[in-house]
Structure 1
Amino acid sequence: MSTFMANAQNTTQQWFVIDATDQVVGRLAVVIANLLRGKHKPTYTPHADTGDFVIIVNADKVKFTGNKWEDKNYQTYSHYAGGQKIIPAKEMLRRKPEEILRLAVKRMIPKGPLGYKQITKLKLFAGPSHDHQAQQPVEFKVQTN
């Protein structure tokens, strides 16, 4: 008897499409992070990339709960004097709507080489169309509570 350990050679990766219309950012990000890491599969292995590719369409139609559109800020820092930028959530939605979901998912994936590889499997699109028709993605329904 031996223990099965998943690795890149014996793992198949699927492509999923998720429609982000009227989805709460945090709840959707949890589902996406679990798909990217492969935690939905029985062959999940923490030290191997067993996750799937995820395509998000309509990323500009996500929603926040509470008063986060007014209160939430995104901060970046260039490590130079005066290099701190603080962008409100409404402004981020106007400028780069995909970045709201990308940052939420990125913070839910472990840091390090494996996590950096897993986040590259996330493809975000602000509108209803995407460039990955050739991969024959399967629609993934997110349960809304």
Structure 2
Amino acid sequence: MKTYMAKPGEVQQKWYVVDAKGQVFGRLASKIASILHGKNKPEYTPHVDTGDFVIVINAEQVVFTGKKLEQKLYRTHSGYPGGLKETPYKVLMEKKPEFALYEAVRRMLPKNRLGRKMLKKLRVYKGAEHEHAAQMPEVIEL
């Protein structure tokens, strides 16, 4: 018996809407990364993009457990000495909640061409409105 390997042209991709209201930040990000990667499908193939499109709404209403909102830091480094910038997630969630969730998912995907292709299928919105009604997305409960 041969192992089935999906080919890029024969993969059917769906659109899903995820409501982030009341969801735990990290758990939500890992489930979204899994859907983008295609690990929720039986035809998952590691070297082929078998994932689906994901639309996340209400990104500002995501929940952090414990004291993570005050203690957890978003770090970036310019590459120069002393170039470390640290932003608490409380400030980040007030200014750019969609960026915080986008970055969490990005860091859970592969760091290569395939991961960048998967990330293009993620859309994150601050409020409850999105502009992808033409794709007829299914509402999925995570």
Bucket of the pairwise TM-score, normalised by the shorter protein: over 0.9
- Give the root-mean-square deviation of aligned CA atoms: 1.2
Identity %: 51
| Structure 1 SS opposite 2:5 | coil
The C-alpha deviation readout for 1:78-133, integer Å capped at 9, x for no partner, is 22344322111110011110122112211211111111111111100000001111
| Equivalent position of 2:13 in the other structure | 13
| Equivalent position of 2:57 in the other structure | 57
| Equivalent position of 1:71 in the other structure | 71
Measured in 2, the distance between the counterparts of 1:81 and 1:136 equals 49
Measured in 1, the distance between the counterparts of 2:7 and 2:78 equals 37
| Equivalent position of 2:89 in the other structure | 89
| Equivalent position of 1:123 in the other structure | 123
| Structure 2 SS opposite 1:130 | coil
CA shift, 1:33, in A, is 0.7
CA shift, 1:3, in A, is 3.5
TM-score (norm 2): 0.95
Measured in 2, the distance between the counterparts of 1:132 and 1:76 equals 31
| Equivalent position of 1:101 in the other structure | 101
| Structure 2 SS opposite 1:141 | coil
Q: Does 1:34 align with 2:30?
A: no
Measured in 2, the distance between the counterparts of 1:70 and 1:86 equals 12
Measured in 2, the distance between the counterparts of 1:64 and 1:97 equals 12
Measured in 2, the distance between the counterparts of 1:69 and 1:3 equals 45
Measured in 2, the distance between the counterparts of 1:65 and 1:18 equals 20
